[in-house]
Amino acid sequence: MDKLIVEGGHLLKGSVNISGSKNASLPILAAALLTDDPVRISRVPDVSDTNYMLQILSQLGASVERSSGTVRIDSPDGISSSASYEQVRKMRASICLLGPMMARMNRCTLPLPGGCVIGDRPVDLHVRAIQALGARVRVKGGNLVIEAPNGLVGATVDMRGDNGPTVLGTDNLMMAAVLARGTTVIESAAREPEVVDLANFLNKMGAHIEGAGSRTITIHGVERLHGCQHTVIPDRIEAGTFMVAGALISEGITINRVCQEHLTALADLLVECGHTVRFSEDGSSVFVAPGTSPKGGKITTSPYPGFPTDMQAQMTALFSVTPGISVVRDTIFPQRFMHCSELKRMGANIKMDNGTAIITGTDRLSGAPVMASDLRASAALVLAALAAEGTTEIHRLYHIDRGYEMLDDKLLGLGAYVRRVPDPKEPAAQAI
């Protein structure tokens, strides 16, 4: 495995291009199973999570070709209805195969995703959704065994859970409903841009979906879907991560290939904290620079369009060196604070109080060997390392490689002093 060696204190400058969205790509790749026509999907980032999904699709019997950022998927009749534990255990998001497999084959066997470092990853809402369309669900040998011998029938389903809407749960229900008999109405639907991107992809395949992006999505079932070409939306979390880098340690950087409307909550917070954020006329790029007298802020994560849970760790790294007190609470993944203990090893002053992180800004962090734990916590450690005094070694870089395409190259392009080197002492990649 690799580790990243970062020499901190060097101001970033110049510009960086953002890749296609990992979280839009995953359900869209799974949705390719909904037709036996070929589909072409562009700007699929070359990261472990999308590659795991492509491996699972080919293990199911689909043919998969990738040439640079474009993926062609062909899933002929006769594809398998069961995914192996070996493959699925590598990525919990493979739960989003449930909807397309049920729509296509009316049965599927999917290993249950376990928990992970950001907290328990329940699937009760996914089960509620597919049962509402008439499927029978059993748990057998760690697998979800789901059957709908009479096919799926549209229904009205309220998808709200204790922690709000579910992104992949909404995706699964949409994908299960597109070929169901009759109409499905999703109440309390997730509104994330990645859900809208999936709905746009499905409509290009001939589905009939209305209301994606609002809390109520209506899907009129159709007989069959056909192939199409689609380009996934920019990765708003990668863009946000670089925006935080711009506010933290730069002469001002420009981030290209973004979508302004997906970045409002973060942009507003950075401005509120005194930083410079300027979008281009068409909203496709943004200039970010550190404020002259920045101040701390308060984050309570919430479903889109609220402040994203996937950005709170990165902001915690920025708050660690911002004068004043900052407060971070995550209502979606309440335990998602693995990064705090590692940031404290770099000198951050963070106290946990009943699920809330209280951060008192210090002048500088100091470099140290740290351990990546989950995708966004690792990004927070990279940001902290860029601003820290001295050298930081970030171990278990595979966490970063799950969701950030060529992060080290992009940072080098911005003038950062980073080096990816083999880490012989580290174990092989762990399932997350």
Ordered strands of the 349-353 beta sheet: 298-300, 325-329, 356-360, 349-353
CB within 8 A of 70, min separation 6: which ones? Answer: 40, 41, 42, 43, 44
The site map against ligand EPZ for 42-81 (x = CB under 6 A) is ----------------------------------------
Q: How far is the CB of 401 from ligand EPZ (least distance, A)?
A: 13
Query: Which residue in the block uniquely carries the two structure tokens 């079932």?
Result: 221
Using CB atoms within 10 A of its CB, is residue 112 exposed (0-12), middle (13-18) or buried (19+)?
A: middle
378 sits near ligand EPZ (criterion: CB under 6 A): no
**18: contact with ligand EPZ by CB under 6 A:** no
What are the distances in angstroms from CA 95 to CA 59, 110, 144, 322, 364? 15, 7, 10, 39, 41
Phi, psi values for residue 181, rounded to 5°:
-80, 130
Angle of helix 236-248 relative to helix 375-387, nearest 10 degrees, comes to 20
Residue 262 makes contact with ligand EPZ by CB under 6 A: no
Give me the 107-146 binding string for ligand EPZ, x by CB under 6 A, dash otherwise: --------------xxxxxx--------------------
- For ligand EPZ, which stretch binds (CB under 6 A), given 63-71, 161-169, 322-330, 414-422? 161-169
Binding letters toward ligand EPZ, positions 205-244, x by CB under 6 A: ----------------------------------------
Instruction: Examine residue 21 and tell whether it contacts ligand EPZ (CB under 6 A).
Output: no
Q: Shortest approach of ligand EPZ to residue 245 CB, angstroms?
A: 17
DSSP assigned state of 423: -
Stretch that binds ligand EPZ, among 69-77, 158-166, 352-360, 406-414 (CB under 6 A): 158-166
CA atoms within 13 A on the CB side of 52: 28
5 forms beta bridges with 393, 419
Residues 288-327 that bind ligand EPZ (CB under 6 A): 309-310
Minimum CB distance to ligand EPZ smaller for 90 or for 126: 126
Cβ neighbours for 29, distance < 8 A, ≥ 6 positions apart: 41, 44, 50, 53, 54, 57, 71, 73
Residues engaged in binding ligand EPZ (CB under 6 A): 23, 26, 93, 121-126, 161-163, 166-169, 190, 194, 309-310, 332-333, 375-376, 403
Residues labelled as active-site residues:
116
